[in-house]
Amino acid sequence: MSGKQIPAPDFPGSLEWFNTEQPVNLAAQQGRVLLLHFSTYCSLQCSNTLDDLEFLENKYHGNIQIIGIHVARFPGERTASHIRKVIARHEISHPIINDHDQRLTKLYGVRQQTIVVIDTNGNITGATSGQNKRHKLDKAIGILLNRVNKSASRPCAVSTSQKSREPSRALAFPGRIHATDNRIFIADSGHNRILVATTRGHVLHQFGNTSPGFIDGKGTAAAFNNPQGMLLSDTHLYVADSGNHAIRRIHLHSEEVVTIAGTGKPGDTPKNSYFNNPLEINLNTPGGLALKGNILYIAMSGVHQIWALSLVTGTMEVIAGSGNRELADGVAHLASFAQPSALSILGNTLYVADAEASAIRAMDLATRNVVTLVGNGLHGYGYHDGFVPDARFQFPLDVNVDQRSGALWVADTYNNKIRKIELGNNLVSSVSVNSPLNQPGGLAFSGNSLYIANTNRHEIIRINLQNGSAETLDVNDEYDRIRP
């Protein structure tokens, strides 16, 4: 934070607003501290910052005003429907502006992932970027509010709107899925729980309740926060508990949920690469899991790295990724990722859905060399089928190997597509799905079926790979019977 004061430019009159009944006038907010949160909601740094903003909003209720300014990186983020889904998914209560042409970003001279602080007199007093800035912002707000003239008139209240709330459904923003011959495991991310169902959708078990939390325990006594990637090994289901920055393990017979890595708090890029006690390490938004032998591989999305956890020794190490947010190939510790979100293994190769790079990467587990299969840098996104060098994706969140054919299937999330990469001929093609997709976030195989987590439509779709027919699994009746 700097001590320099600059009058805050007011908002242009033609902006697209959400979560408020009318545009916010900055002049009418004098008397409050304002925080302008410039962000793109695909960024995990942004979603982690939302927790800090909620804390500050509750602590200084009525004395501060937070305004989110969405600066889209991808075309799929620029629509009003996308922003409404983001508001509902993160339960954002403050007003948001869609800065689709970056007018405000340029007007304020900032980049994405910046919080601008405006004092009670309407002056910009500083800006901060990066994660874990709660304490810094808390201190600045306290100082600014202590300077307020107590006889000043009360600023105008902002009328919020609830139009972006989603209807109540059996599933809420389901993320990743995992399937066997007779079971499907659903990360019901918006409900902060894991469901175990038959392949027809009949729910058999529930782990976690619908409230976010970080609690070990049995069945619904446990608590998760935005769980994502899952992996089944014998009688244990491993879960990337993304919002808790932890790896959890569920014993499917005893129904016990235990934490095996993480403290519940997010960490920065680690200085060390090897850890003897994973329960003492701050992870950062683990997204996807893969298993080979007794090694659990983890896409550590928040620090742009791949980590490995030994299920024998209980030790943990960083095996790939410099920590820089970029697309760079090479030997593992020098290679770079940009929000790696999912993993899948075929033979001795680990495949990575590198979301912010809109890329599919591959790492040889023997040599630990990283190469790019599809992708062309952080701004090389798009939608194009064809041979690997020319193909383009847009923010893919999942990748899964079809062990029978050796093809890679990709949830091309912001293109609302399922794509296939044929490794034999290096050809990328789009898969016909006879059902509307809205930001699919996960996929899994079981026999002749492909299951798709159709995230923004709150549903699981099953595709018959023999005839191409599609059906939506119905879990509504079962949900009512198992609800605690």
Q: Give the domain CATH number at 108.
A: 3.40.30.10
Tell me how far apart the alpha carbons of residues 235 and 294 are, in angstroms, rounded to a whole number: 14
Query: What is the pLDDT averaged over residues 76-100?
Result: 93
Q: In the predicted model, what is the mean pLDDT of the chain? A: 92
At a CB cut-off of 8 Å and minimum separation 6, what does 142 contact?
Answer: none
Closest CA to 358 of 327, 390, 331: 327
214 and 282 inside one domain: yes
Checking if the pLDDT of 373 tops 50, the result is yes
CATH of the domain at 350: 2.120.10.30
Query: In terms of DSSP bridges, do strands 427-430 and 442-446 run parallel, antiparallel, or are they unpaired?
Result: unpaired
Query: What is the pLDDT averaged over residues 408-436?
Result: 95
Give the pLDDT band (50/70/90) at residue 129.
confident
Q: Is 152 among the domain residues? A: no
Tell me how far apart the alpha carbons of residues 63 and 49 are, in angstroms, rounded to a whole number: 20
116 and 182 inside one domain: no
Give the pLDDT band (50/70/90) at residue 189.
very high
Count the residues in the chain. Answer: 484
Angle (nearest 5°) at CA 142 between 138 and 148 = 145
* CA separation, residue 433 to residues 300, 342, 360, 465, 469 (Å): 30, 22, 21, 10, 8
* DSSP H or E stretch at residue 245: none
112 and 65 inside one domain: yes
Q: Is 370 among the domain residues? A: yes
Q: Is 168 among the domain residues? A: no
* Range of the structural domain that residue 402 is part of: 177-482
Token pair for 428: 């990328």
Q: Which amino acid is at 166?
A: E
246 and 371 inside one domain: yes
Tell me how far apart the alpha carbons of residues 192 and 140 are, in angstroms, rounded to a whole number: 33
335 and 467 inside one domain: yes
Angle between the 44-59 and 134-146 helix axes, to the nearest 10 degrees?
30
At a CB cut-off of 8 Å and minimum separation 6, what does 101 contact?
Answer: none
124 and 195 inside one domain: no
Residue 156 confidence (pLDDT): 63
Give me the number of domains the chain comprises: 2
Query: In terms of DSSP bridges, do strands 330-331 and 316-320 run parallel, antiparallel, or are they unpaired?
Result: unpaired
For 440-456, how does the pLDDT look when each residue is reduced to its tens digit (9 = 90+)? 999 999 888 999 999 99
Q: What DSSP state is assigned to residue 252?
A: T
234 and 86 inside one domain: no
Residue 481 confidence (pLDDT): 45
Checking if the pLDDT of 190 tops 80, the result is yes
| Strand ranges, E, within 311-392 | 316-320, 330-331, 340-346, 349-354, 359-364, 369-374, 386-387
Query: In terms of DSSP bridges, do strands 417-422 and 427-430 run parallel, antiparallel, or are they unpaired?
Result: antiparallel
- Residue 142 phi/psi, 5-degree rounding, is -60, -45
Beta bridge partners of 386: 428
Residue 480 confidence (pLDDT): 43
Please say which residue of 127, 146, 165 terminates a domain.
Answer: 146
Q: Is 154 among the domain residues? A: no
99 and 14 inside one domain: yes
Please say which residue of 103, 126, 146 terminates a domain.
Answer: 146
Give the pLDDT band (50/70/90) at residue 436.
very high
Q: Is 72 among the domain residues? A: yes
130 and 254 inside one domain: no
Q: Is 157 among the domain residues? A: no
Residue 371 confidence (pLDDT): 98
Q: Is 162 among the domain residues? A: no
| Strand ranges, E, within 150-264 | 177-179, 184-188, 193-197, 203-207, 217-218, 227-233, 236-241, 246-251, 256-261
128 and 219 inside one domain: no
First to last CA, the chain: 47
Q: Can you tell me which residue has the tokens 């490995």?
A: 308
- Residue 181 phi/psi, 5-degree rounding, is -65, -30
At a CB cut-off of 8 Å and minimum separation 6, what does 246 contact?
Answer: 214, 259, 261, 262, 263, 264, 283, 286
Please say which residue of 124, 146, 168 terminates a domain.
Answer: 146
Tell me how far apart the alpha carbons of residues 471 and 484 are, in angstroms, rounded to a whole number: 28
195 and 292 inside one domain: yes
Residue pair 96/123 in contact by the 8 Å Cβ criterion: no
272 and 415 inside one domain: yes
Q: Is 477 among the domain residues? A: yes
* CA separation, residue 414 to residues 62, 120, 336 (Å): 36, 39, 22
For 194-243, how does the pLDDT look when each residue is reduced to its tens digit (9 = 90+)? 999 998 899 999 999 999 999 999 999 999 999 999 999 999 999 999 99
